[in-house]
Structure 1
Amino acid sequence: MRSEFSRRGFLGGAGAAAAGITAGSMSAASAAGGAPRELPKGRSILPGDPRYQTLGQGFNQRWSSSPSYIRLVGNEADAVAELNRALDRGLRPTVRGGGHCYEGFVDNDRGVILDLSTMRGVAASTDKFGRPTYCVEGGATNWDVYTTLFREHAVTLPAGSCYSVGAGGHICGGGFGLLSRRHGLTVDHLVQVDVVTVRGGTAAVTAAHREDAKGSPEQDLFWAHTGGGGGNFGVVLRYHFAPDAPQPPPRVWLSSVAWPWEELLERSADFETLVRNFGTFMAEHSGPQESLYQGLFAILKLTHHSNGNVVLVSQWDGDDPAPLDSFVAAVEQGMATRSVVQTRAAGGLFLPYPEKRRQLPWFQATMTLNPSGDNRRGKYKSAYHREPFSPAQIATFRDWLTRDVEGADLSKTLVQIDSYGCRINTRRPEETAVPQRDSIMKLQYQTYWTDPAEDSDHLTYLRDFYRDVYRETGGVPEIDTATDGAYVNYPDVDLGTANQRDPAYPRLYYKDNYARLQRTKAYWDGEEVFHHAQSVRPAKA
């Protein structure tokens, strides 16, 4: 356990830092490394304030804390001043952006939470070289990004479908979404990040650009924010994206079909056929040279049988729906159970349409596909897959999804299998901090509940389920095998913590990129002002 720290002499720090490192706007002078021109503007929320309890808890109701105060950061000068104030007072700072918080990395008893949720600017801007960019402040949500970029500039970013997620944490973990097979990861379009870091015990601002001198600390800092994850290097004020950001398609087709569990249980071979077909299709149509199906994004939701339906949701950006229909036909080829119109929510997603597919304007489809769901308790795990599922893995999916746990409601438990690859896989593993650049599917294991009395049941169930699926590789999706690790934006403390001797998370999240992240950490935050249960640890001298 690390001790507390102060600005004048770091002594270590205890606990976990933010999953979404974000902050407010900054002036041109500070972007170039000068002092902020503006006066600090924000407000402190103290215990007893009616907002205190709400702002001390995020979307995931498992996590809450009792900080000394919560600072609603109003601008860049406020972010710098409040960080320095925390250091002077020996208070550990953590930072909240959107607040989805898969793990408790923002929990901060007796410290200070810097809440950036009011800093939501999205606008045309310039980088430190005076070239045009689109700028996203760290407190913006995905929805802020989509609405502003689309309405004012007719562009978008290939970010996530859950639009209440904070862009500040989403982007620095890599960011992917329904347009990523055609346009790559969110960070593939990033050109600059403006960050408050702490070196020598004092907070200062650095504008780190992808065109900074090769091998320079500034270029390393930029690179670290292309997949290094939140809570590791500093407080992100703004992200700058290239002016040739993707244009969204005018219209897309949404497809939503389901296979009733009741029938899948009667025809035991159909579940295996369904999952095998999906994996095989993705293996055949997710390579870097893929042309026809770049515009397809598909999500196969393998729900617990108590939900009632296994669901396939797809977005197709072509005007002709024939390739989409061919994809759905390929997925259910050889099954006796035929698909029906989806009739109930699956993992927070429900399309209330009477037909299996419908064409919509892209912006309307983006609203429709938002799967945020209700505030509740949740646990998550992830895996990258480079090959179709093995028969043993498919059998394990079926076994666990048809198990019941006495006293626990598993109807909101599922394995979500997202399509991946295509344009994502045109980058080299070391080009960004995201090293998984030849996968064809990304999996997210999810379970949701509301009663704290069910915590142990849900956590144990998902932990054992996940371990069983990957039992042939030591209980985790080992790298450079049929699988390729886990996604840093779906953090899972079961993969180890920073205080353990040899945790698995550095290898599974970052692969060979971890060494460079450690060197970057040592330079920009060697005293570990920013740290959490799965931090990047600084390289030793």
Structure 2
Amino acid sequence: MKYLSSYFTFATTIVLLFSFDPSSADSHEKFVQCLYNYPYVTNSISSVVYTQTNSLYSSVLDVSIQNLRFFNATSKPVVIVTPLDVSHIQATIICSQRHGLQIRIRSGGHDYEGLSYVAEVPFVVVDLINLRGIEVDVENSTVWVQAGATVGELYYRISQRSNTLAFPAGICPTVGVGGHLSGGGYGFLMRKYGLSADNVIDALIVDVNGNLLDKETMGEDLFWAIRGGGGASFGVIVAWKIRLVSVPSTVTVFQVARTLEENATGIIHKWQRVANNLNKNLTIRINFWRLNSSKNGNLTVQAQFESLYLGPADDLIPLVQKRLPELGLLREECIEMSWIESILFMAGFTNGESTDVLLNRTQLNGLSFFKAKSDYVRDPIPDVGLEGLWPFFYEDEAEHGYVQFTPYGGRMDEISESETPIPHRSGYIFHIQYGVNWQEKGDAAEQRHLNWIRRMYNYTEPYVSKSPRSAYLNYRDLDIGINNNGYTSFSQASIWGTKYFGNNFNRLARVKTRVDPRNFFRNEQSIPSLVGLFTRMVQIYGEFTKLGNASVPNNHNTSS
């Protein structure tokens, strides 16, 4: 990428000129004026600034909202900025601090709790939708991908250059790369190659002082933190350099469904004991949902076993028959295809559809109201535990509810829990995602569905990880704890932080304190600074006094 040379010499002294004024009651108009007068903008910024009076404001805000729960939120951003280059991000960071506005950073809009575009305080959205460049280097098996690109766009660009290179990430093509990689990122290549974050080799981030940093200049600790610790706590990630992995020209997929009447519980029982110990080239995960039984028409639970094998079907069949014969996998249920075709298959696209659909940034099945939760499992759930889970699917609120089991093992067992902020490595046999969608509007409908998924989550507590009960950052869940709007103590943040990060939360907080001691980059579940409340008040007073006495260079417009 060519971003660094133009911006790395950005003067930190500008921060003193535009520094946060704690007593400021400036309106968003003065924030916008600050952007327009900012001295180091390389392209006109006015065309990418949207206030609430702008006729395009609503369409720009709504285009990346992925959860109807937050579609008509009353807490909307006072301004949206869709930067065209790094200088626009720098200006937004400095001017937001100067005028007392928070920043929320959006790449694809898939944050499960809407934190990338919803806040209870005056805030600005930095939407990276225009920063989506992708440079594939086939010779070195690397890619520079800007944070506003989607996973689908990344997959498409890789496939255009090679049919034997891939990247380990999720199957939802509309997820933004920026958040996906900074929160971990897993998919069907995880058991072979680890998480997305495990395959990041460089990054560009704009810090709280407006400096553009790469791996070398940001330092080992910050580079460690943003690969799984959530980038939005530390700055605005502009781009990632990722390592591509090898895949065969032919892979094999299958989706095999078994209902409770077809011994689904028994097959799951066996799956729990073998799925994490299978050949690294083979991943078999399970999706559960309800449907009407073909035998008696009554509701039942179906378990869909879906798999990617990095090789031909003739090699896959013996593996499954030996380790999971209970599934009864048949040769005709296995489909050979290329890796990029397997992405379309798992994402639910029609067989044979053009890969061009990966460039579409809107969800395949449209939007719905949505809530999810997550767990990690160390020991197989006994049959009695599974059998107690099934009745939840017969309730009215479960019409579009689901549970997903994703196996670990393989490469994940070989990576230390402290290698990145994500501690869920060796010792975990699978991961659980609980989800529920609904279309009915209104608070009552939302509460019913939230109650349903929370009761299911409470039910499984005896069968999942403990001390802490773990969770996955990219399946954001505010139920497990939140920060205050202002100062949040480390102990309070630890309530949710140790669930996502285990013992790594301590190091994340130390990194945060070094790179953003004033806790500018914050949200309901951002890493806290260890700078105490009293110390912070002294800091603010000093900054205010310094601003009042500062002499301003003649070449800087101070009207903002």
**TM-score class, shorter:** 0.7 to 0.9
The answer to whether structure 1 residue 275 and structure 2 residue 291 are counterparts is no
Deviation of 1:437 after TM superposition, in Å, equals: 1.1
Within the candidate set 8, 13, 38, 2:19 is matched to: 8
Distance 1:469 1:455 in 2: 22
- Normalising by structure 1, we get a TM-score of 0.78
Within the candidate set 513, 520, 531, 2:511 is matched to: 520
Distance 2:237 2:201 in 1: 14
- Aligned identity (percent) is 24
Deviation of 1:301 after TM superposition, in Å, equals: 0.8
Distance 2:416 2:440 in 1: 44
Distance 1:240 1:37 in 2: 25
Deviation of 1:395 after TM superposition, in Å, equals: 2.6
Kept in 2, the 8 Å contact 1:83–1:203? The answer is yes
Please say which of residues 512-521 and 41-50 is displaced more in the overlay.
41-50
Q: Which residue in the other structure is 1:423 paired with?
A: 411
Q: Which residue in the other structure is 2:125 paired with?
A: 113
Kept in 2, the 8 Å contact 1:36–1:76? The answer is no
Q: Which residue in the other structure is 1:443 paired with?
A: 432
Paired residues for 1:211-290 under 5 Å = 218-242=219-243, 245-260=244-259, 263=261, 270-285=263-278
Kept in 2, the 8 Å contact 1:169–1:230? The answer is yes
Amino acid at match of 1:273: G
3-state SS in 1 of match to 2:522: coil
3-state SS in 1 of match to 2:238: strand
Deviation of 1:511 after TM superposition, in Å, equals: 0.6
Over residues 9-48 of structure 1, what are the superposed CA-to-partner deviations in whole Å (9 max), with x where a residue is unaligned? 46499xxxxxxxxxxxxxxxxxxxxx97943555112324
Kept in 1, the 8 Å contact 2:259–2:300? The answer is no
Larger % of helix: which? Answer: 2
Within the candidate set 63, 66, 78, 2:70 is matched to: 63
Deviation of 1:399 after TM superposition, in Å, equals: 3.0
Within the candidate set 357, 367, 376, 2:344 is matched to: 367
- Normalising by structure 2, we get a TM-score of 0.76
Over residues 398-444 of structure 1, what are the superposed CA-to-partner deviations in whole Å (9 max), with x where a residue is unaligned? 23223x13xx4x22201111122211221111111111111221111
Deviation of 1:153 after TM superposition, in Å, equals: 5.1
Q: 1:540 and 1:81, CA in 2 relative to 1: closer, same or farther beyond 3 A? A: closer
Deviation of 1:91 after TM superposition, in Å, equals: 1.8
3-state SS in 2 of match to 1:117: helix
Over residues 494-538 of structure 1, what are the superposed CA-to-partner deviations in whole Å (9 max), with x where a residue is unaligned? 111123864532111101111110000001111111111111112
The answer to whether structure 1 residue 147 and structure 2 residue 156 are counterparts is yes
Q: Which residue in the other structure is 2:282 paired with?
A: 296
Q: 1:157 and 1:450, CA in 2 relative to 1: closer, same or farther beyond 3 A? A: same
Distance 2:137 2:255 in 1: 39
Distance 1:464 1:308 in 2: 18
Over residues 194-242 of structure 1, what are the superposed CA-to-partner deviations in whole Å (9 max), with x where a residue is unaligned? 11111xxx42222124xx7xxxx62111000111024211100111124
3-state SS in 1 of match to 2:344: helix
Deviation of 1:124 after TM superposition, in Å, equals: 4.2
Kept in 1, the 8 Å contact 2:480–2:495? The answer is yes
Q: Which residue in the other structure is 2:178 paired with?
A: 168
Distance 1:249 1:44 in 2: 45
Give the length in aligned residue pairs.
461
Q: Which residue in the other structure is 1:351 paired with?
A: none
Q: 1:132 and 1:369, CA in 2 relative to 1: closer, same or farther beyond 3 A? A: closer
Amino acid at match of 2:393: L
The answer to whether structure 1 residue 39 and structure 2 residue 49 are counterparts is no
Kept in 2, the 8 Å contact 1:294–1:422? The answer is yes
Kept in 1, the 8 Å contact 2:135–2:144? The answer is yes
Within the candidate set 278, 299, 310, 1:317 is matched to: 310
Q: 1:521 and 1:12, CA in 2 relative to 1: closer, same or farther beyond 3 A? A: farther
Kept in 2, the 8 Å contact 1:418–1:441? The answer is yes
Distance 1:428 1:173 in 2: 17
3-state SS in 2 of match to 1:359: strand
Distance 2:182 2:504 in 1: 15
Kept in 2, the 8 Å contact 1:122–1:149? The answer is no
Q: Which residue in the other structure is 1:267 paired with?
A: none
Amino acid at match of 1:205: L
Amino acid at match of 2:374: S
Q: 1:283 and 1:362, CA in 2 relative to 1: closer, same or farther beyond 3 A? A: closer
Deviation of 1:307 after TM superposition, in Å, equals: 7.8
- The alignment's C-alpha RMSD in Å is 3.0
Kept in 1, the 8 Å contact 2:21–2:99? The answer is no
Q: Runs of 5+ in structure 1 lacking a partner?
A: 1-5, 14-34, 265-269, 286-292, 342-354
Q: Runs of 5+ in structure 2 lacking a partner?
A: 1-16, 25-38, 292-298, 349-362, 533-560
Q: 1:368 and 1:197, CA in 2 relative to 1: closer, same or farther beyond 3 A? A: same
